[in-house]
């Protein structure tokens, strides 16, 4: 069961070969056994999960089940879930119990899925290694000396280690795709606005987007079918008709034009990652695709632009954590201003403080035009580069990350090197485009390599088709870490 796809699990549940309670208990037992070493989950509530499973079994018995009814899903701890502790990986929200459900949680509840628990993450989604979490670093199940990537590292680890059937994540600058690549799973960030941000704790509002993480493209399609949809509570939610993201999975790839940006294959890309990506491109040629050389000239500016815009938005979004209404409050203070200062100083971690300070600086009088406004102009140029590229190709491919998973603690003293982990993913968020990562082999150290697929706006179904056809021809996505018991 642990290696079954969501489609296979759904079939088994409807055929009554296993109940949702039995399947949920199987995953809960694995969480009990393996989570202490991997640290993928922050919060579990076995009683609540099993109650949902029993309700799902009732639906299954009455033939009212949907495709994900009864299937155990992990939720990133950035989504508010009513009655569940929702921490965002921070001391600031360590004891916060959400009083309502995020839109994404509502969607899965309506689909009859089972919430297995809340997964670990970089604090307020700020990080690329899952080492900034107040609850400790997550370990990569392929090599526990390595990071799982971030910020959705707990979700990626849980999927790879078979601690859930699939998981939700969020992607602000690569936080679904990069950990998916480093943990050898699949993950997709849909077009900005297709998944509601209501109840998703904000980092950078113009960049944040929720998406699914699973082992294969077929599973991602089923997850997206549940997650997407208009939500009037989110002003950035797009009013579009619901679509079936699995509709094109079986289409052949003959005639597909794949764009390869020269900027993605330049200095900084490790040789073993480049080798795996080139082998994947060769496989696509066998499947009937043609290769087009393209350029994204402004992509080299994506990292500095991101680290102006994202901290600017974060400094505004995180101003609400002041120790007054909810969240951490310093135990001792002399007056209101002292309470603000001490609560924020003690409640936020070092990386969050760094980004708040950067964001406040670039928005300050005298620097707004020089930094923030200039970054917004370059953001438009980056989007135009993609617009021009898609006149020549259908999808864009390249590495997801410049290297395989790096060792725990190896980049903690060098924030810039950490930021460069997202060098290939950030431009996609700045443009609001959909992007995904799928497993494409293993590096020289045996750690997974991810292939990034970027599509035009609202082309998720096509991207999933491209990914699925590759996964039918290869077995990278079906591999499991050798050091976990199955």
Domain boundaries, the chain: 6-254
Phi, psi (degrees; rounded to nearest 5) at 143: -160, 110
Q: How far apart are CA 356 and CA 315, in angstroms?
A: 5
Q: Which helix (H) or strand (E) holds 261?
A: strand 257-261
- List all residues 6 or more positions away from 190 whose beta carbon is below 8 Å from its beta carbon: 209, 211, 224, 227, 228, 434, 460
* Annotation says 175 is catalytic: yes
Helices (H), 111-230: 153-160, 177-183, 217-227
Average pLDDT over residues 75-98: 98
Condensed to tens digits (0 to 9), the pLDDT of residues 137-194 reads: 999 999 999 999 999 999 999 999 999 999 999 999 999 999 999 999 999 999 999 9
Residue 486's pLDDT band (cuts 50, 70, 90):
low
Q: How far apart are CA 312 and CA 306, in angstroms?
A: 10
Condensed to tens digits (0 to 9), the pLDDT of residues 337-374 reads: 999 999 999 999 999 999 999 999 999 988 999 999 99
Q: Choose the CATH number for 6-254 among 3.40.50.1970, 2.40.50.140, 3.10.129.10, 3.90.1300.10.
A: 3.90.1300.10
Q: Which two tokens stand for residue 365?
A: 């009088």
By DSSP bridging, strand 209-214 and strand 166-171 are antiparallel
- β-partners of residue 76 are 119
Q: How far apart are CA 117 and CA 112, in angstroms?
A: 15
Residue 419: the pLDDT is 86
Mean pLDDT over the full length of the chain: 96
Condensed to tens digits (0 to 9), the pLDDT of residues 241-274 reads: 999 999 999 999 999 999 999 999 998 999 999 9
CA-to-CA dists, residue 228 to 171, 220, 424, 433, angstroms: 15, 12, 25, 15
pLDDT at residue 77 tops 90 = yes
Please pick, among 19, 20, 49, 76, the residue that the annotation labels catalytic.
76
Please pick, among 5, 49, 151, 315, the residue that the annotation labels catalytic.
151
Please pick, among 128, 133, 152, 175, the residue that the annotation labels catalytic.
175
Q: 3-class SS at 483?
A: coil
Q: How far apart are CA 381 and CA 177, in angstroms?
A: 23
Q: How far apart are CA 410 and CA 412, in angstroms?
A: 6
* Annotation says 437 is catalytic: no
Q: Which helix (H) or strand (E) holds 6?
A: helix 6-14
CA-to-CA dists, residue 152 to 20, 171, 188, 384, angstroms: 26, 8, 12, 28
* Annotation says 129 is catalytic: no
> Is 374:381 a contact under the CB 8 Å cutoff?
no
């Amino acid at each position: 069961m642990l290696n079954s796809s969501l489609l296979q699990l759904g079939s088994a549940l409807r055929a009554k070969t296993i109940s949702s309670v039995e399947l949920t208990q199987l995953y809960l037992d694995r969480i009990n056994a393996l989570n202490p070493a991997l640290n993928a989950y922050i919060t579990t509530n076995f009683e609540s999960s099993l109650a949902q499973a029993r309700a799902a079994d009732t639906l299954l018995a009455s033939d009212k089940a949907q495709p994900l009814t009864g299937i155990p899903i992990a939720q990133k701890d950035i989504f508010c879930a009513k009655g569940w502790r929702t921490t965002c990986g921070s001391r600031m929200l360590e004891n916060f119990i959400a009083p309502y459900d995020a839109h994404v949680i509502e969607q899965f509840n309506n689909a009859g899925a089972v919430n297995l628990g809340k997964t670990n993450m970089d604090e307020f989604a700020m990080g690329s290694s899952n080492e900034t979490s107040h609850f400790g670093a997550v370990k990569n199940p392929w090599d526990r000396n390595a990071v799982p990537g971030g910020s959705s590292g707990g979700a990626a680890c849980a999927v790879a280690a078979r601690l859930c059937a699939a998981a939700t994540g969020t992607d602000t600058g690569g936080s679904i795709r990069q950990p998916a690549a480093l943990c050898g799973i699949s993950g997709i960030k849909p077009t900005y606005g297709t998944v509601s941000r209501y109840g998703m704790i904000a980092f950078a509002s113009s960049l944040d987007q929720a998406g699914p993480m699973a082992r294969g493209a077929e599973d991602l399609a089923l997850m997206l079918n549940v997650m997407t949809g208009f939500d009037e509570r989110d002003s950035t939610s797009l009013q579009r008709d619901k679509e079936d993201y699995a509709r094109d999975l079986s289409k052949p790839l003959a005639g597909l034009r794949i764009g390869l940006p020269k900027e993605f294959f330049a200095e900084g890309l490790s040789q073993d990652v480049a080798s795996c990506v080139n082998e994947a491109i060769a496989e696509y040629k066998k499947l009937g695709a043609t290769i087009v050389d393209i350029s994204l000239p402004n992509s080299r500016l994506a990292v500095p632009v991101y680290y102006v815009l994202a901290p600017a938005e974060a400094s505004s979004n995180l101003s609400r954590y002041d120790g007054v209404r909810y969240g951490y409050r310093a135990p001792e203070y002399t007056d209101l201003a002292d309470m603000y200062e001490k609560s924020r100083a003690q409640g936020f971690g070092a990386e969050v403080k760094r980004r708040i300070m950067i964001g406040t600086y670039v928005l300050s009088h005298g620097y707004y035009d020089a930094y923030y406004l200039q970054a917004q102009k370059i953001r438009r140029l980056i989007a135009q580069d993609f617009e021009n590229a898609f006149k020549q190709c259908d999808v864009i491919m390249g590495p997801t990350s410049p290297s395989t998973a790096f060792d725990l603690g190896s980049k903690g003293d060098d924030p810039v090197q950490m930021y460069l982990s997202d060098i290939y993913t950030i431009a996609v968020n700045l443009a609001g485009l959909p992007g995904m990562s799928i497993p494409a082999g293993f590096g020289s150290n045996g750690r997974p390599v991810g292939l990034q697929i970027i599509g035009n706006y609202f082309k998720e179904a096509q991207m999933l088709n491209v990914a699925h056809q590759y996964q039918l021809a290869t077995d990278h996505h079906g591999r499991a870490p050798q050091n976990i018991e199955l």
